[in-house]
C-alpha cells in the first residue's frame, strides 16, 4: 500500500470518527450544546483535526445526514430487490427496516435537533432541505422500482409515499418514545400495506387532475361496497 493510500485511509477513519462523535453529542446535548471542541475530543482528536475535515459544525451535520441516508439507500435497495418474497412479507420487512432506520431514540433525538436548527437558521436550512429533497427522490425511485418488480400499482405518487414512510417512522418514535416497538411496527405495516395494493393508481395515472383522481376513487369505493 502506498503512503498516499495510507494517508487517505487514515483521513477517512478520522472523518468517520468525528461523524460518529458528532451524531452522539448532538443527539445527547442538542445542536447548541455540542461544541466543536467537545465533538473533536470525543472522537479523540483536536479542533485542528476537526477543521481539517469539516468547514463548520453545519458542514459536519450535513455529512452526518449523508452517511445515514447512504446506509438507508443501500439497505432498502437490497430489501426491494428481493422479489422472491410475497407482498405481505415485503411489507413486514419494510416496516422493520423503517423502525430500525428511523426508530432509535438517538436517531429520533438527532433528527429532531437538526430539524429545529434548520428552522432557526435560514442559511443552513437551504442545504438541509436540498438534501431532504435528494433523499426523497432516491427513496421514491426505490419504492417505484419495488412496486414495478412485483407488478403492483401505487395509490399515490412514489415520492409522496416515500416521504410519508420516512415522516411516519420518525414521527411515531417522537410521539411514542416509551411505547412498545410492536405498536410502531404494526402502524407502519398498516400504512405500507394500504399503499402497495394491486389495482391502485399507478405512475401512468399520476398526471391526472386531482378532480379526476377523486372521481375514480369514489367509483372504486362504490364498486367495492
User: Is residue 211 situated within a structural domain?
Assistant: no
Hunting for cell 463548520 — which residue is that?
56
Instruction: Say if residue 6 is in the same domain as residue 71.
Output: no
Tell me whether residue 179 is in a domain.
yes
Least confidently predicted of 21-25, 174-178, 192-196, 209-213: 209-213
What is d(CA 217, CA 220) in angstroms, rounded to the nearest whole number? 5
CATH number of residue 22's parent domain: 1.10.10.60
State whether 175 and 192 are in the same domain.
yes
Domain match, 6 and 86 both: no
Query: Quick check: 176 and 168 in contact, CB under 8 A?
Result: no
In tens, the pLDDT along 91-116 reads 777 777 776 666 567 888 898 899 99
Dig out the grid coordinates for 62 from the structure: 450535513
Mean pLDDT of 74-89: 72
* 17, part of any domain: yes
Cβ–Cβ < 8 Å for 46, 40? yes
pLDDT confidence of 200, banded at 50, 70, 90? very low
b vs e for 110-141, b when ≥16 Cβ sit within 10 Å of the residue's Cβ? bbbbbeebbeeeeebeeebeebbeebbebbbb
Of 12, 33, 54, the one marking the end of a domain is 54
On whether both 50 and 62 belong to a single domain, the answer is: no
Cell of 71: 446506509
Mean residue pLDDT of the chain comes to 79
φ/ψ region of 29 (left if φ > 0, alpha if ψ in -120 to 50, else beta) reads alpha
Are 45 and 99 part of one and the same domain? no
Together in a domain, 44 and 63? no
Pick the more confident residue, 166 or 5: 166
Structural domain for 145, as ranges: 57-201
Domain co-membership, 118 together with 191: yes
Q: What is the CATH number of the domain that holds 108?
A: 1.10.357.10
3-state secondary structure of 86: coil
Distance CA 119, CA 158 (A): 26
Closest CA to 163 of 204, 193, 134: 134
Is the residue at 223 inside a domain?
A: no
Gyration radius of the chain's alpha carbons: 21
Residue 69 shares a structural domain with residue 179: yes
Which of residues 18, 37, 54 is at a domain's end?
54
Pairing of strands 153-154, 196-197: antiparallel
Q: Are 40 and 116 members of one domain?
A: no
Does residue 208 fall inside a structural domain?
no
Q: For the chain, how many structural domains are there in total?
A: 2
Amino acid at each position: 500500500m502506498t503512503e498516499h493510500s495510507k494517508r487517505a485511509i487514515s483521513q477517512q477513519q478520522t472523518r468517520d470518527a468525528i461523524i460518529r462523535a458528532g451524531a452522539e453529542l448532538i443527539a445527547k446535548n442538542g445542536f447548541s450544546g455540542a461544541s466543536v471542541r467537545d465533538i473533536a475530543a470525543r472522537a479523540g482528536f483536536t479542533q485542528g483535526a476537526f477543521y481539517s475535515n469539516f468547514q463548520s459544525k453545519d458542514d459536519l451535520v450535513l455529512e452526518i445526514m449523508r452517511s445515514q441516508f447512504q446506509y438507508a439507500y443501500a439497505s432498502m435497495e437490497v430489501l426491494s430487490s428481493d422479489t422472491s418474497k410475497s407482498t405481505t412479507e415485503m411489507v413486514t420487512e419494510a416496516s422493520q427496516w423503517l423502525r430500525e432506520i428511523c426508530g432509535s431514540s438517538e436517531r429520533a433525538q438527532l433528527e429532531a435537533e437538526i430539524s429545529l436548527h434548520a428552522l432557526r437558521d435560514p442559511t443552513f436550512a437551504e442545504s438541509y432541505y436540498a438534501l431532504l429533497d435528494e433523499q426523497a427522490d432516491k427513496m421514491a425511485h426505490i419504492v417505484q422500482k419495488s412496486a414495478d418488480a412485483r407488478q403492483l400499482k401505487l395509490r399515490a405518487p412514489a415520492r409522496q409515499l416515500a416521504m410519508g414512510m420516512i415522516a411516519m417512522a420518525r414521527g411515531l418514535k417522537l410521539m411514542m418514545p416509551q411505547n412498545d416497538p410492536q405498536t410502531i411496527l404494526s402502524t407502519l405495516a398498516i400504512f405500507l400495506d394500504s399503499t402497495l395494493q394491486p389495482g391502485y393508481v399507478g405512475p401512468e395515472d399520476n398526471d391526472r387532475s386531482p378532480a379526476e383522481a377523486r372521481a375514480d376513487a369514489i367509483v372504486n369505493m362504490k364498486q367495492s361496497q
